[in-house]
Amino acid sequence: MQSEIGHQNSQWRCRKCGTLLGVATGDEVEVRYKTAVYRVRGELATDCRKCGTANRLDTRHPRHERRCA
């Protein structure tokens, strides 16, 4: 079953070359490697498979910065 990329999903791309690293859905990120699909929650880091740049993502802190009261 293929998951569709809709407006609720945001693509996690390499900050250097733009290679797609995963797709964030809600507070999870779906990462595909060959035939396997991993769904990860929390903080993750990966090296881009193309350019080797280290990329980090924290699904608990989506785009919006948390404001400190």
Residue 21 CA: distances (Å) to CA of 27, 37, 39, 67: 16, 12, 12, 28
Among residue numbers 32 through 61, which ones bind Zn ion (CB under 5 A)? 48, 50-51, 53
Q: How far is the CB of 39 from Zn ion (least distance, A)?
A: 22
Q: Is 16 in the site for Zn ion (CB under 5 A)?
A: yes
Q: Is 19 among the residues that bind Zn ion (CB under 5 A)?
A: yes
Looking at the Cβ atoms of 27 and 33, the one nearer to Zn ion is 33
Angle at 15 between CA 66 and CA 26, to 5 degrees: 45
Query: Which amino acid is present at 1?
Result: M
For binding to Zn ion (CB under 5 A), which residues are involved? 14, 16-17, 19, 48, 50-51, 53
